[in-house]
Structure 1
């Protein structure tokens, strides 16, 4: 039975480091070997820094997958669904390899990220590194709790992981979408608290969701809490974290799912709206600057890369 990468469904940590690489030409054989060794290396540091609750995820980009592993492809792995409507845009950007490092110690993340870059060496070009952190009691920098609708307990696995009956070769893996959002905090902070709550569709301090009839059709919770044709909730598992300094602040959005479709449906609801002009008004105060689709394969699959 395929074993998932533990970072996919792990509970939140205090610190996160997100590393995004492009593969260099003619380095695929080296990269297969290096990626196969990463989980064991992470396990070593997780044991060494046992109090840090270290987890990680290694993922391969949709546009790079066939080059690295031409023997097969996850059934629903497609490029990032770039979208635009008026001045709202979800761009598609580059990224061949994604590695997520999370723990409760920033120094542990730094050590492990350094070792990852040393292992991958000159086979990759590090194109982005984002250091993120837990803010207050799991809130975004807007002051609202992030991931309120996240699945809990064992249901996290049901939502995030590909099942054997759906795609046996890639069972235990997860479809991953990332977006780095940059917030306009000056504009956001000009809103009174009630106006901010109306944008989200829930209260700020107590994190109580508005009744459905009290939500504006443009509320963030209205545009992302969706149901399918059978009335079932459309779910993703978010592992997002805030990032920022005194000049730039935002959210590094991370979405895991057993299918690539739920993320696309939610993004379309936010940007294109409901067909009646009702888009997610949170997009007036934040914009996505990146967008990449990946697949985070099982530990079994990563180990098998060394055999190629």
Structure 2
């Protein structure tokens, strides 16, 4: 099977740098070549600073894919699902390239980001740059542990990496990103029991409520979904908090072997169930960006970079 990019299923890190780019017109050939070279940048820093647990992901926007790789189309590649209900909105802010770099050292993330940007700079516009960081013991800035429902061990591969269902793109992964801005002033006015009711699990110990004890609007209720056969609908989250003294939030990253799980979860959060029970966490955080990408295998990126 083709080699998946290391950063898709990597273990959590202390630091991340997320870069979003738009490619200048008629620079596609150069970008194909440089993306393959960026893999070498990741490998170099991984080899030189192995203790920092370096990883990276290169993903191509759904809107840009056919320009960069005409004639090659992942089976389920689709635009980001634009959703709006009352004051809840999952906006679409498409961009051509998403590059994620993570490490246990902030300086290594910075050095990798500088090298990546220097390589791409003549051919792209930098749309957004976000620095992610680990908060306490892996918590979101709301104070709750993030990624509790993530698949563990080898099950990550089953959830996040394409296999025989799309052989031409085996080793790839569908990526969705959203930058959420939290209203922490409003959130922190709630007492802990109310916050726990909204999440559907305890804040300090990260113990999930029994299903029958969860409110229908609880975050865990709205995101822990089952298919028609009773199987869990899963994604692999690679999200991290970000922020400064003026603005804080979560940079959400979803990796999956199909875009459908993310779309179903987002629908459940924003539109809710048949009774209108949406995810109450949406009252305290706002998605300001949203984009869909595909992260092809290492083999695909290298082969296309030579053609």
Shorter-chain TM band:
over 0.9
- SS of the residue corresponding to residue 67 of structure 1 reads helix
Deviating more after overlay: 39-48 vs 152-161? 39-48
- Which residue is equivalent to 1:138? 138
- Structure 1 unaligned blocks of 5 or more: none
1:226-241 pair list within 5 angstroms: 226-241=225-240
RMSD: 0.6
- SS of the residue corresponding to residue 136 of structure 1 reads coil
- Which residue is equivalent to 2:299? 300
- SS of the residue corresponding to residue 29 of structure 1 reads helix
Name the CA distance, whole Å, in 2 between partners of 1:88 and 1:301. 38
- Which residue is equivalent to 2:82? 82
- Structure 2 unaligned blocks of 5 or more: none
- SS of the residue corresponding to residue 225 of structure 2 reads coil
Name the CA distance, whole Å, in 1 between partners of 2:173 and 2:76. 10
1:173 aligns with 2:172: yes
- Which residue is equivalent to 1:149? 149
- How far off its partner does 1:307 sit? 2.9
Q: Spell out structure 1 runs of 4+ moving beyond 2 A.
A: none
1:169-224 per-residue CA deviation (whole Å, 9 max, x = no partner) reads: 10000000000000000000000000000000000000011111111000000000
- SS of the residue corresponding to residue 226 of structure 2 reads coil
Name the CA distance, whole Å, in 2 between partners of 1:206 and 1:76. 38
- Which residue is equivalent to 1:291? 290
1:174-213 pair list within 5 angstroms: 174-213=173-212
1:106-152 per-residue CA deviation (whole Å, 9 max, x = no partner) reads: 00000000000011121110000000100011100000000100000
- How far off its partner does 1:71 sit? 1.7
1:82-111 per-residue CA deviation (whole Å, 9 max, x = no partner) reads: 100000000011210000000000000000
> 2:18, 2:130 within 8 Å by CA — same for their partners in 1?
yes
1:113 aligns with 2:113: yes
Name the CA distance, whole Å, in 2 between partners of 1:229 and 1:280. 21
- SS of the residue corresponding to residue 290 of structure 1 reads coil
- SS of the residue corresponding to residue 279 of structure 1 reads coil
> 2:94, 2:292 within 8 Å by CA — same for their partners in 1?
no
- Which residue is equivalent to 1:7? 7
- SS of the residue corresponding to residue 256 of structure 1 reads strand
- How far off its partner does 1:304 sit? 1.1
- SS of the residue corresponding to residue 295 of structure 1 reads strand
Normalising by structure 1, report the TM-score: 0.99
- Which residue is equivalent to 1:244? 243
- Which residue is equivalent to 1:258? 257
Name the CA distance, whole Å, in 1 between partners of 2:121 and 2:191. 49
